[in-house]
Each structure stands twice: as structure tokens, then as C-alpha cells.
Structure 1
């Protein structure tokens, strides 16, 4: 492939490994672990992989190791740094034994089941070092949950003599990795399964997993774009910009971008839910802010909105639950009716409380909530233009206030949704180093005979050389939740902690930011230059680990 000058220069970047991964590697094991909740249930579900210790890699003695064939899968949505996980894995298994081989399964877990793969060679992999995207082997969203999938996968693993499989993905993908590890262990199949924590949403983290890879890069890219919008906003001084950001299940991206850019308002889904705010409550708050600024000659501003906000509004969440039940039980009765007849059918079958909420929604949003679903039965929140919904409702209320003599200013809105712009960006220095270390950690977990583990790297607010690499048993992250009507083991999503330092930092400043124009323009993501500019961690990570914003 033809390389840009940027890519050519970026090729020269050499990721820094933690000291414990640089030479001969030993392993230090901690105490036995337990799941975060539902211990007896999880222990019964995973008798072969439950209770294993957290491990840390330390300097050790050189030892001979037989060559090993390893498989790797990219699962779910893209995140910056995925290629560096694979390069770290490749380089490390080759360093341990030059005759080891790496096979990539194409287009996600489906490639394992359908036996579609390539061998990853030195020549092939060198084109992807420090690059964004998942185009090295592609990704997919096939879930590995069924026994026939496990057996089909084992057929190709056995054929290729693959003894270890690394699954790079989010919470669902790592849950599937643990289920697969348990199954192969139960069957005495000689295949280890290792996971790696990936998601730009930032909701796969805990004490052992300080950050999911991709979050650092994506939030820097979004913050640059938001800063550009803020500068334009402060230049023309005539528009309100409503910016929706990725983050269906948690508001970490919106929060980090707010800490970077100081918008006039950043909605946090978790706070909306905790305070039981209605859609009208949110609209009222925005209108009061618009009026305050307008009264002082500032008819402009920036509002950040997390992608999943609509589901966190308790009244709408309760409506969605009832609509889900209605769709499951009676969807066939009204799916083929005209839009008007569909709406009438739904109105006749909703409870009084949810009926009131449904009637306040614009027709297009009501339809999306009541009928449109993704393959897993979830509301497709990314398709709901929450940023337009809010600005329309704000405009309508301000027009009503104008008729009542309560508002004399102007309100003109512009809308943005930043999602794909950040998912495949070239990884920041942090993510390039972090992901390479994750790949190396996965290789050493394999070399030490581990299965059912997730590769982890800790102490990440220090210099990369001082990071601590190791692994955590995936079962230790589990609880049991209802999914599609069944109780299943899942990795608990990490939501924004309303008692945590990042959120408190926002609360401390948001009244000032809403009234004043306190915009910050972070500028483009930096890959080289002064360390204080290009090697900063996210403000979220710094605050969570006891540092300064």
C-alpha cells in the first residue's frame, strides 16, 4: 500500500515496553480471586477457570520454550491501537521462539467459525505498525456463545496446530473469551484463550484494568474537533452547537472531552438517571442556560451529549422496557401496519404512565424507540438524533417563552455526531505503547500456560518503562445479569462514578462554564514533540489515579 509522509514517519516510532517485559520474564502470582458479585453462581458456571490469581510479570531467568502457533481475533467496533496489540503479540512470540507462528482470523469471531484466516508474517505486519483501524485482519460482531461454534472453531485450531487464541475486544467479547476458555478446559482441548481490553467508550475498566485501549486516542481526536467548533463558535458568536459523542452505556467520552474543552454544558447520562430527570427537565435546564447567556449578549454556546442519553432518562427507560415487551409479544400484530395505525396500536396498549411519555416524543423518535432494533434486540441509539431532538425541543420552548415575554434573544442550532471520526485514528503515543505492551503481556500469559485471563497493564500514569504488566482472571470481573430474557455471566460495565474525581471536577466548574465562555482549544493529537504536550494521559485517568487534571 502507498504510505503518506505521516505514516512513513510514524513507522519509525518504537513502542516502549515496561521493564518487566524487556528481557527474560518471570511471573509473580497474587491471591486467589473471586467474581465481583454472584460468587457461588459464577463459580458453578466456571469450575475450571474460577478463583485463579492475578499475575504480574517481573524480571526472570532465561528459559527455553517450544515454538507455538497462536491465533488472534479482532472483535467488535474498531479502536485505535488494535494493530499494535497484534504487533506486540507477534514480536513477543517470535522473541520467545523464532519458529512460533501467528494466524489472524478474518472479520472477527466469524472467521474462526467459518475457517477464514491468514498467516501474519513479518513482511505483512510491518505495514500496520502504529496505524489505526482494524484492516490488518478486519473485525466482526459474531458472538461466540454456542457449543457448535466452539467445536467448529476447534476444528481449525486443531488443523493449524494452534495452541492459544487471543481475542481482542470489549466486555462482551472478553466474556465470550472466558466462556470459550472454560469450554476448552472442560473438554481437555489443548487451547489457551486470552483476552485484551478494547473499547473507546472507556467502560471496560476496574482496579486491575486502568483503561481500555483506544479511549485515549479517540477522546483526543474528539477534543480537537470540539475545540475547533468552540473556536468557530466564539468567532461567529451566533450558533449553539449540539455535539453527540460515542458512549451508549456510559458517558466517559463526553466527560473526558468536557474536562479537555470546557463546553457550556456536558450532559452525563448516569447523573440524569440518578436524579430521575425527564426529557423536559433537561430541556428546561438548557433553556435557562441559553436565556442567561442571551440576556448578556451571548447567543452561542456548545452542548455535549452522550450517545446513550435517551436510555438513561428514567421515564424513557421505563417506556423502552414496556415497548420491548410489547414488540416481543405483539410485534407481528402491528409491524406491517401503516405508521399511523402502528402508533394507534401502541398507544392503546401502553400503561398510563408510559403513554404520557410516548406522547411527548416526536414521531420519528417514537418510531425508533418502538420498532427499530439492532440484531441483539437493542434500541439503535446511535440512529436517534438526540442532538437534534434536544435542540428542537429547546427551540420550541424558547419560542413559547418569547410569546410570553420571557425570552428576547435568538437561538440558532447546528448539530454534530462524532463517532467514526475517532475509532480508527492513528493511535496516540499512549495507546501505541499501551497496546504493544498488552500484546506482549498476552504472549507471556500464553508462555506461562495461562487461560481464561485478560492481559492488563497498570501504573499507566507513570512513564511507560515503569508500567506493570500482567493478567487478571476474566471470571473475577463477572456478575450475572439478565440478557434477552436469560441470566448470563457478563463483565460489569464501568459507568461514570458520580462520586469519582473526574465527575466532581466537572461539577466544580460547570456553573462557571455555563455562564462564561471558558472554552479550551486542545489542538490536534500530538505524536512527537515535548513530552508535556504529546505524552499526557487523559484527564480521566490522571484524576482516577490521584493526579491533577
Structure 2
């Protein structure tokens, strides 16, 4: 049963099961999104005066948990980083074509994981949401930057292939996307009768946002205009950033050629989604040692009756015996 579906009836059944089996501790291996549900279980056990201690062992393949003092490393992150680095590295080492320029647009998942893989394989370019937001980059400026690099590598350095890495939050963190969602939300609140189609919304948007709106795929435009997320804002439908950006770069290079500007005549873009590889990697020695240590800590907490705690280790810069 997923933790998100917990109800009082299920919690009561869990209590009865723990009492019948005389369990000393109940250890949950959970992600950040499930930790709040584990806290509810621990709180329910405490109110019901159940002697079973509830302990959590946190894992995150994406490296979302950033608590250096208490959780210096996420269980599973190093294994995901390892398998993704190997796969992305093999793509980066693929043989160049003498007939056309081939660029690989690679997506590994979260910005933390994408940046870690980028530091391992040294791609041609890497774009993560946090950096895009801090630099306040517009989508067209990013596309022009990629095209400029491709053209310069072709004509000035004789390089005909490369890797561009893009994190999953790329579109979400664009300054234009934030402004577009706010403007659509305002229009839907103040002038709902005037927005009956995507074309109506496009006509009501400022020129710069209308131009950006037109660049987005049709299903994303439809979701922004007619659907709402859990925060009450226009819904941003998940996108394959690597595929969309690759298509935009190819189109931009063609348009440069039509205008008589310096470009790459024979260009091919290949999108690669490696996200699924992170879910079933071979555990690295670090993760094996970390998992053993966290399991030992969880066992100590459970036998000591420490209800509502999260197992953690510190001092990971030293040998495993000193953690």
C-alpha cells in the first residue's frame, strides 16, 4: 500500500499487526515525499502508546535532500550517478560522422544528478534550472548560444559532434515561463470569458510572452491555458526538454542558413533520455557501505525505542569504520 494512501483504518490495522507480532521497531526506506507520511505513522503510534518504534531511512536517487550537517549523502545517489555517467560517457565517446554534425541532447533527471554527471563526462554544454534562473536567460538566448557553439566548433575547430546536457527543470525555471504562467493566471482570473482557445490567449499576451508561448509544443500550450496545478497556477505539463531543445536548435540552424548567415549545413540532433537507468543501477561500494551503516543505525534506534527518528551518518569524509 503506497504511503500516500494511508488512512485511519489502515493505521489501526498497522498498530494491531505490530502488537500481534510484538515488533520492537518498524523501519521505512522512503524518499523525501514519503517522509511526511512516515511522520504521521510515528505520531499515531505515539498517541496510541504503541511500544513499536518507527524509524526512517531516507533515500533519494535524485539527490534532492540537501542537509550537509545531518545527511551528507543520499542513499542511492552515488549508484545513479555512476550508471548515468557511464551511459552518458559512452554517448560522448561515440564516433564522429564525416558527413554531418551530430549533437546528442541528454537528459539525466534532476539538476543535482545532471550536474554531477556533467562533472564526470565534461559535455559540450550543460543547462540546469538553477543556473538558467540565476542568469535570467531567455529561451531564444539559450538556443542562440548552443547554435553559436556548434557553428564555432564546426568552422574554427573542425569538431563535428558534442553533448548538450539538460535537466528536467529547464523549462520550469525559465524567467519567461514564470512570467507567462503569472500572466495567464491573471488573464484567467480577470478575463475568463475572453480566453476560449489558445489563439485567444496568445492575442492577449504581451509581444515577448506571445513569442515565447508560440515556441512551446501544442500540448504544453493547451495545459497552460485550460488546466490548473495544485497551487492554483496554470499547469506546466512535463516535457522532454532534451527533445524540444534539440528540435529548436535544428530549426534555428536551418533559419540561419536561409538568411545567409554562417551555419552548419548538415546537422542532426539525437535526444537521449537516461532517466530510467537511475532506477535500477548496480549499487556502488559507497552506497553499499552507506546502506549498511544506515541499517545499523536504524536497528539501534528501533531497539532503543527512539520513535520518529531518521537514521543518518556523519563524518563520511573519513573511512567507513569512522562514520
Name the TM-score class by shorter chain: 0.7 to 0.9
Distance 2:203 2:10 in 1: 43
Partner of 2:264, secondary structure, is coil
Partner of 1:272, secondary structure, is helix
Partner of 1:199, secondary structure, is coil
Q: Please, which runs of 5 or more residues in structure 2 have no aligned partner?
A: none
* 2:202 is aligned with 1:202: no
> Which position in structure 1 is the counterpart of 2:257?
402
- Residues 32-181 of structure 1 aligned to structure 2 (within 5 Å): 108-109=2-3, 142=4, 144=6, 147=8, 149-181=10-42
Q: Please, which runs of 5 or more residues in structure 1 have no aligned partner?
A: 1-106, 110-141, 334-340, 469-549
Cα drift, residue 246 of structure 1: 1.1
Deviations 1:152-188 (A, max 9, x none): 5434434444343222122121222223323332343
Hey, which of these two has a bigger chunk of strand by percent? Answer: 1
| Aligned alpha-carbon RMSD (Å) | 3.3
- Residues 33-432 of structure 1 aligned to structure 2 (within 5 Å): 108-109=2-3, 142=4, 144=6, 147=8, 149-206=10-67, 207-234=69-96, 238-247=101-110, 251-296=111-156, 297-320=158-181, 342-344=197-199, 346-347=201-202, 355-367=210-222, 369-370=224-225, 379-381=236-238, 384-410=239-265, 411-432=267-288
Match of 1:448 among 304, 311, 316: 304
244 and 433 in structure 1: CA distance in 2 versus 1, 3 angstrom threshold: same
408 and 273 in structure 1: CA distance in 2 versus 1, 3 angstrom threshold: closer
Q: Contact (CA 8 Å) 1:254, 1:268: kept in 2 or not?
A: yes
408 and 325 in structure 1: CA distance in 2 versus 1, 3 angstrom threshold: closer
Deviations 1:110-149 (A, max 9, x none): xxxxxxxxxxxxxxxxxxxxxxxxxxxxxxxx354x5555
Distance 1:439 1:349 in 2: 57
303 and 345 in structure 1: CA distance in 2 versus 1, 3 angstrom threshold: same
Partner of 2:172, secondary structure, is helix
Q: Contact (CA 8 Å) 1:199, 1:212: kept in 2 or not?
A: yes
Q: Contact (CA 8 Å) 2:79, 2:283: kept in 1 or not?
A: yes
Task: Using structure 1 for the length normalisation, give the TM-score.
Answer: 0.52
Q: Contact (CA 8 Å) 1:269, 1:306: kept in 2 or not?
A: yes
Distance 1:292 1:187 in 2: 68
Hey, which of these two has a bigger chunk of helix by percent? Answer: 2
344 and 403 in structure 1: CA distance in 2 versus 1, 3 angstrom threshold: closer
325 and 191 in structure 1: CA distance in 2 versus 1, 3 angstrom threshold: farther
Distance 1:328 1:212 in 2: 41
Partner of 1:461, secondary structure, is coil
Cα drift, residue 305 of structure 1: 0.6
242 and 369 in structure 1: CA distance in 2 versus 1, 3 angstrom threshold: farther
Distance 2:176 2:116 in 1: 27
Structure with more relative contact order (C-alpha pairs < 8 Å, separation 6 or more): 2
Distance 1:187 1:463 in 2: 41
Distance 2:5 2:183 in 1: 26
Distance 1:379 1:312 in 2: 11
433 and 185 in structure 1: CA distance in 2 versus 1, 3 angstrom threshold: same
